[in-house]
Amino acid sequence: MERLNPRLAEGDPAAFAELYDQFADRAYHYLLAETGSAEDAADLLQESFARLYRSRKRLRKVEQIAGYVFQVVRNEVKRWKG
Q: Splitting the chain (82 residues) into consecutive groups of 10 residues, what average pLDDT does each group show?
A: 81 94 98 98 98 92 93 97 94
pLDDT value of residue 26: 98
Instruction: Note whether 58 and 49 are within 8 A (CB).
Output: no
Distance of CA 38 to the CA centre of its chain: 17
What DSSP character marks residue 63?
S
One-character DSSP codes across 40-52? HHHHHHHHHHHHH
Q: Is 79 exposed, middle or buried (0-12, 13-18, 19+ CB in 10 A)?
A: exposed
pTM, two decimal places: 0.91
Residue 3 confidence (pLDDT): 77
What does the pLDDT read at residue 70? 97
Q: What is the pLDDT of residue 41?
A: 98
